[in-house]
Chains A and B, each alone.
Chain A
Amino acid sequence: GAGVSQSPSNKVTEKGKDVELRCDPISGHTALYWYRQSLGQGLEFLIYFQGNSAPDKSGLPSDRFSAERTGGSVSTLTIQRTQQEDSAVYLCASSLGSLPGYTFGSGTRLTVV
């Protein structure tokens, strides 16, 4: 597609429920990244996929968070047993893995009530 697409754009869930967030990267982009941004804060790195390499999961805050990327394209970020502190905007980005930089989606705003 023309840009990075994320769905849903907004998600309200009850504490303790599982949620899945989807990212469709730009076609042909080999690298895919997930970030989290809490209100008024900077971006927090979560996970990074590059081609067929093992993902860099060093930013995942707990084992309740996981992500997969199927067929080197679409990615799903799953948060199990959501907590109120998980409320944030989850941003996905993709790139060619080299210059000139990332393209971000518009994000999914997750609210845990």
Chain B
Amino acid sequence: LAKTTQPISMDSYEGQEVNITCSHNNIATNDYITWYQQFPSQGPRFIIQGYKTKVTNEVASLFIPADRKSSTLSLPRVSLSDTAVYYCLVGDPGDKLIFGTGTRLQVFP
């Protein structure tokens, strides 16, 4: 299972774009990159998943370079409600996912 490295914490202000980068140097061919969001006292919530290039949905964008050794979660125009912990995971969708410690994003007014 590929190990991931992401910043422990980030601060931002409302209305700004936030980019959280995750490193996964030993990603395997079958591995996908998945991001989850977790609010206090709740289970993690799936945000976005991708294999290569760029994926966009109504919540976020995921940028994956050609070598796939890193990925960047982009949150456009964050609000206070985006304050949460964001987890980057790499793995085969048919297997268990191993969570790291995540990135604690704090959005200020």
Contact = CB atoms under 8 A, between A and B. Distances in A.
Most buried by B among A41, A95, A104: A104
Interface string A94-108: 010111111111110
B46 interface: yes
A99 B94 CA distance: 8
Contacts of B32: 99
A103 B96 contact: no
Most buried by A among B36, B96, B98: B96
Contacts of A97: 93-94
Interface in A68-113: 91, 93, 95, 97-107
Interface range on chain A: under 10, 10 to 19, 20 to 34, or 35 or more? 20 to 34
Contacts of B96: 33, 45, 48, 56, 59
A106 B44 CA distance: 9
| Interface of chain B, main secondary structure | loop
A65 interface: no
A60 to B, nearest CB: 12
B49 A100 contact: yes
25 contacts: A31-B94, A33-B96, A42-B87, A42-B101, A42-B102, A43-B87, A44-B99, A45-B96, A45-B98, A45-B99, A48-B95, A48-B96, A91-B44, A95-B93, A97-B93, A97-B94, A99-B93, A100-B46, A100-B93, A101-B36, A101-B49, A102-B44, A103-B46, A104-B44, A106-B42
Interface of A: 4, 31, 33, 35, 41-45, 48, 50, 56, 59, 91, 93, 95, 97-107
